[in-house]
Amino acid sequence: MPERLGQSDIMAVVVANKPAIVKCVSEQKKQQPGLTGKLVMRWTIQTSGRTTGVAVRSEEFKKTYMANCISGLIKSWSFPKHKKQGEPIDFPFTF
């Protein structure tokens, strides 16, 4: 079991869930065609691999379907188990 998670461990989980993320963005774009930007999400990965403290950091997207949709996805993700819990992650989703 690794001491802590690396950036590559985090990216692997995000990339594995990309189809679902794209679906969240597509639904938002149906309501707002031409929407572009960066949605920054924050979460903490517990040593069990579960996520906690999922929050939207981008003020302009806080109340959007897309932010709620991606928040729900992140809450269901499982990361590799590790020994030391790291700091919260601020992760940008660019669309």
Mean of all residue pLDDT scores within the chain: 97
Q: For position 59, what pLDDT does the model report?
A: 96
Q: For position 57, what pLDDT does the model report?
A: 98
Give the start-to-end residue ranges of the domains of the chain. Answer: 7-94
pTM: 0.94
Could you report the per-residue pLDDT of 10-21, keeping only the tens digit for each? Answer: 999 999 999 999
Q: Which CATH number fits domain 7-94: 3.40.30, 3.30.2420, 2.60.40, 3.30.200?
A: 3.30.2420
Could you report the per-residue pLDDT of 18-44, keeping only the tens digit for each? Answer: 999 999 999 999 999 999 999 999 999
The enclosing H or E element of 39 equals strand 38-45
Q: For position 48, what pLDDT does the model report?
A: 98
